[in-house]
Structure 1
Amino acid sequence: MGEDIDADPTWRGDAAAWFARRMKEASTFAAFVAELPGSGVVSCAVGTIDDHAPSPRNRSGQRGEIANVVTSPDFRSRGLARACMSALLTWFTDETAATTVRLAATSVGEALYRSLGFAEPRDLILQVRVAR
């Protein structure tokens, strides 16, 4: 996502703790991987369910979020990310009450996500970065 992941490597410990905690929550976390003999895990897609206030368009209040869609450079353009994403979208559909699933797309992944049905949200989504 355009970040220098090694500029401050201490984030890795935070991420490891987050994954360890979320992986125990099968109803709100799923990860699908592509593993190839001799190469190990070469692609993945991770999804979470976040709880929000119910609304007329989202009675359950559940919203899906996709993150960590990654494929090792040597294994790109083989359909592995598509397979991981398809499995994850099936999980959202079959195992959760989420009516919306969101993700932040890079230009590299945009075509894949659009081919899977992702589009701009109906509402204008804004955000602010909180200074710490």
Structure 2
Amino acid sequence: MTDRETARTVPVTSDAIAADNRSRAATAADITELTRLRSVMLSSLGQDPGGEGAPWRKQAAVWFSERLARPEEWALRVVGPPGGPLDACGAAWLIEQLPGPAAPDGRRGYIGFMCTRPGARRRGHGSSIFNSLVEWLATRGVARLELHAAPDGLDMYRRAGFNEDQYLAMYRMGSPPE
């Protein structure tokens, strides 16, 4: 997996959105399952999520609860029954950056937390969620969408008009150097 940022700088239109409506908005009843899918996602990216008692899980539940309470800024979409086992999830949120040609008002949309449990892959769940998130961002007038892609999602994102940005995303973990 590379840390290359994938960006879409073309206007989002309804033509880019499929008519697949199997996804739904997540609710508070889904928080336990959202946390479980976060663990699935971490595992698929080669990270050890730890056991059921790992400290991050409790904080993740709080995090999901806080984002669900801010639907004007955050969209969490899932496939599965409310409060039941979920097959897939994804999120979109608004970010503000310095205005420029690709985002004259500085607002951008970010899509992340795209995850489908292994036994439910290749059934269109990810596409359903992704299209719902693109539509959510489009209704907010956001022209520039960004995401980081795992190898399994590259084809879907490229078909939707995303391409690799010219800039390499860089990260640093841990304490700042002294």
TM-score, normalising length: structure 1: 0.84
Q: Which residue of 2 aligns with 1:113?
A: 157
User: Larger helix proportion, structure 1 or 2?
Assistant: 2
TM-aligned CA distance change 1:80 to 1:130, over 3 Å:
closer
Cα distance in 2 for residues equivalent to 1:68 and 1:128: 18
- Conserved? CA contact 2:89–2:126, under 8 Å: yes
Cα distance in 1 for residues equivalent to 2:159 and 2:98: 30
RMSD between superposed Cα atoms in Å? 2.2
Q: Which residue of 1 aligns with 2:71?
A: 26
Letter in 2 for 1:119: N
SS at match of 2:112: strand
Identical counterparts, % of pairs: 27
Cα distance in 2 for residues equivalent to 1:16 and 1:74: 24
Q: Which residue of 1 aligns with 2:50?
A: 6
Cα distance in 1 for residues equivalent to 2:138 and 2:74: 13
- Conserved? CA contact 1:36–1:42, under 8 Å: no
Cα distance in 2 for residues equivalent to 1:62 and 1:16: 27
TM-aligned CA distance change 1:24 to 1:107, over 3 Å:
same
Cα distance in 1 for residues equivalent to 2:92 and 2:70: 12
Write the deviation string for residues 15-44 of structure 1: whole angstroms up to 9, x where unpaired.
Answer: 22221111111121001111169x732111
Q: Residues 35-54 of structure 1: matches in 2 within 5 Å?
A: 35=80, 40-54=85-99
Cα distance in 2 for residues equivalent to 1:57 and 1:42: 34
Q: Which structure 2 segments of 5+ residues have no match?
A: 1-44
TM-score, normalising length: structure 2: 0.64
Superposed displacement of residue 130, structure 1 = 4.8
Cα distance in 1 for residues equivalent to 2:46 and 2:93: 22
Pair 1:79-2:135 in alignment: no
Cα distance in 2 for residues equivalent to 1:75 and 1:111: 18
Question: Comparing both chains, which one has the higher relative contact order based on Cα–Cα distances under 8 Å and sequence gaps of 6 or more?
Answer: 2
Cα distance in 2 for residues equivalent to 1:63 and 1:2: 29
- Conserved? CA contact 2:76–2:89, under 8 Å: yes
Q: Which structure 1 segments of 5+ residues have no match?
A: none
Superposed displacement of residue 80, structure 1 = 0.9
Write the deviation string for residues 79-122 of structure 1: whole angstroms up to 9, x where unpaired.
Answer: 1111111111111111x23222111111111112212221112x
Cα distance in 1 for residues equivalent to 2:142 and 2:110: 10
TM-aligned CA distance change 1:2 to 1:100, over 3 Å:
farther
Correspondence for 1:101 among 137, 145, 150 = 145
